[in-house]
Amino acid sequence: MPTLPRPVRGRPALTAVSLAVVLTIAACTTEPEDGAGPDPAAPEDAAGGGTLIYATGDAEPTCLDPHVGGNYPQALISTQYLEPLLGRDADGTILPWLATDWEVSDDGLTWDFTLAEGVTFTDDTPFDAEAVRINVEHVQDPDTASSTGYLAMEKVERVEAVDDHHARFHLAEPDSALLESLTQPWNAMQSPAGIDRGMDANCAAPVGTGPFVVQEWVPQQHVTLVRNPDYTSGVPQADNDGVAHLDQLTWRFIPDPATRYAALQSGEVHVIDNPEPEAIAGAGEDIQHIDAPRPGSVNRLELNGGQAPFDDERVREAFIRAADVGPGIDTLYAGVAEQAFSPLSSIEPYAYADESLFSTDPQAAERLLDEAGWSEFDDDGYRVRDGQRLSVRIPVSTNQSVAAEQSLLEQVQANTRAVGFEVVLNPVDLSTWYGDLAAHDYEAVTAPYTKVGPDVLRILYHSDSLVPAPSGYFANLAQVDDPELDALLERAVATDDETEREELYTQAQARVLEGFHILPLYDQQNHFLVNGASGVWTLDTVATPTFIDAHLD
């Protein structure tokens, strides 16, 4: 089975909503026109159109507007119809997109962006500086209930529309991560007229500048996206600088991985995400594999230091020394994932790892637990102290954790039981999972979080993130409250000196690891299998697929 490399493109171009009925946007039903011309690297009939069917195993969004909330399923689909101000390549270089140029003041408090001209949203509203201002305000409005976008824009005080094609960002404090934040789909641009329709209408069909348009959403079945016949802005690094080759994308929701993979093999669908590791390893030569790890943090077990028993560093270290996740990762992931020893993804240039902190040592774990006062055992063989069992509750989101990860947690449960921990695994749907976190009904949790760049460390481990975002989600699930770590992260985001920035983020990662606040597992797994289509690749922002170059074989 061929594995597609991360592409190097040759040319950078300038409240949960209940939907009980079919949502059809009448204005978008015009038959899309053919593109201006075929991809020069594709067959001559590549622009002939057709419908590509994508099947996702992620949870169906409750809102197609990624400003609301801000999870990865929203990023996956909104990449097709919304575009951010900036792009990013695999080396971390920021690329022009809807913004073509930018400069920052000497004090780091003012950023001026020059905007692409001649771009309109698909409702014919012009894309201009006023639209940028309205979008930032929409993300920051508490009524929008944003999380990921809101946290990325925290330091933006206001946006000034200098003229139609120049937007000025005024910051409360310097933010060296601002450009990285503006590449994210959770901060992508939407039509002000679309936003004005209200949350329900905008959740049903956000209006963007992207190569596709939301035509219809049939909840629990599919979203239909049709080609934008007037697309002009251009996806950075794409081969195709015109409209999409495809007539239509059908975005299906198939939660069961076996059913999803069978549909791919039979040709019923063309692209799937979240395949099980054995499906990746066993796919035939006609199925292409795209391996696109997400940027920002790794997938990891966060140990809740805000309450017993993990408020004691010795207990956190004992758990980590006993968990022994390496063999399980090797076996369960069939060679498609490697154990991580850093808080940051392997694709982040500033990732710092210390493998010695995660060596398995049950004897050391037992000694640490004895020192922490967990020296007695109950009749079931679990450690107790003051009549309380050494218990660790782990809510498991069945929408986010594939079967291999759930099996890995079962191995952690067995391994830590050998030294006296009781691990209670509680499989729940995504909304219940969020509720458990909000109520602090957990001692540990696997926590995916995607943000471009090392500033994700500030989102995850600064004490400010103990306070929930407007969506109700708080990102500091390890409940880290460390003034020295706060100071490192604040200095890192304030400096524009790359050498200093790297050193500060290295120190911050060392402090997170040495405090045994997390057990790194592996890069956030992001795999796609493709059958019967070509030209599918992923953006180097948050590793979501784009179909601007795609055509049916």
Task: Tell me the C-alpha distance between 274 and 145, whole Å.
Answer: 27
CA atoms within 13 Å, Cβ hemisphere of 259: 8
* 413 part of a folded domain: yes
Residue 372 shares a structural domain with residue 475:
yes
Q: Euclidean distance between the first and final Cα of the chain, in Å? A: 17
**Cα→Cα distances 465→142, 304, 447, 449, 472, Å:** 16, 14, 14, 13, 11
Q: What is the pLDDT along the chain (553 residues), one digit of tens a residue?
A: 544 433 333 323 333 333 333 333 333 333 333 333 333 333 344 456 999 999 999 889 999 999 999 999 999 999 999 999 999 999 889 999 999 999 999 999 999 999 999 999 999 999 999 999 999 999 999 999 999 999 999 999 999 999 999 999 999 999 999 999 999 999 999 999 999 999 999 999 999 999 999 999 999 999 999 999 999 999 999 999 999 999 999 999 999 999 999 999 999 999 999 999 999 998 888 999 999 999 999 999 999 999 999 999 999 999 999 999 999 999 999 889 999 999 999 999 999 999 999 999 999 999 999 999 999 999 999 999 999 999 999 999 987 788 899 999 999 999 999 999 999 999 999 889 989 999 999 999 997 788 999 999 999 999 999 998 888 888 999 999 999 999 999 999 999 999 999 999 999 999 999 999 999 999 998 999 999 999 999 999 999 999 999 999 8
CATH assignment of the domain containing 256: 3.40.190.10
Is 494 within the bounds of a domain? yes
Closest-CA residue to 139 (of 64, 190, 87, 211): 190
Measure the CA–CA gap between 112 and 106, rounded to whole angstroms: 12
Considering only CA atoms, which of 327, 512, 318, 270 is closest in space to residue 419? 318
Please give the pLDDT value at position 38. 35
Per-residue exposure over 491-501, b if at least 16 CB sit within 10 Å of its own CB, e if not: bbbbbeeeeeb
Residues 103 and 181 in one domain: yes
Looking at the fold, whether 190 and 330 belong to one and the same domain comes out as no
Indicate if 311 and 288 belong to the same structural domain. Answer: no
Number of domains observed in the structure of the chain: 2
Quick one: pLDDT at residue 48? 63
Rg of the chain over Cα atoms, rounded to whole angstroms, equals 23
Is there a domain that residue 4 lies in?
A: no
Question: Measured between alpha carbons, how far is 174 from 495 in angstroms, rounded to an integer?
Answer: 7
**What letter does residue 189 receive in the DSSP assignment?**
B
**Residues 320/32, Cβ–Cβ less than 8 Å:** no
Q: Is residue 384 part of a domain?
A: yes
What are the structure tokens assigned to 82, written together? 């919304």
What is the residue range of 369's domain? 298-523
258 with 117, same domain: the answer is yes
Q: Within 175-251, where are the H helices? A: 178-181, 192-196, 199-204
10 found inside a domain: no
Greatest alpha-carbon pair distance for the chain in Å reads: 75
- How many helices and strands, by DSSP H and E, does the chain display? 16, 27
Query: Is 188 in the same domain as 253?
Result: yes
Instruction: Establish if 433 belongs to a structural domain.
Output: yes
437 part of a folded domain: yes
What DSSP state is assigned to residue 297? B
Whether 305 and 221 share a structural domain: no
- The one-letter code for the residue type at 278 is E
pLDDT at site 84: 98
Separation in Å, CA 73 to CA 21, 259, 306, 329, 434: 21, 19, 29, 24, 15
What is the pTM for the complete model shown?
0.86
CATH number at residue 498: 3.10.105.10
Whether residues 506 and 539 fall in one domain: no
Query: Which pLDDT score, from 0 to 100, does residue 14 have?
Result: 30
> 141 with 287, same domain?
yes
Same domain, 141 and 25: yes
- pLDDT at residue number 22: 37
Q: Is there a domain that residue 278 lies in? A: yes
- What distance in Å separates the CA atoms of residue 443 and residue 309, rounded to the nearest whole number? 8
- Domain co-membership, 217 together with 273: yes
Shared domain check, 209 and 71: yes
- The whole-angstrom separation of Cα 31 and Cα 290 is 31
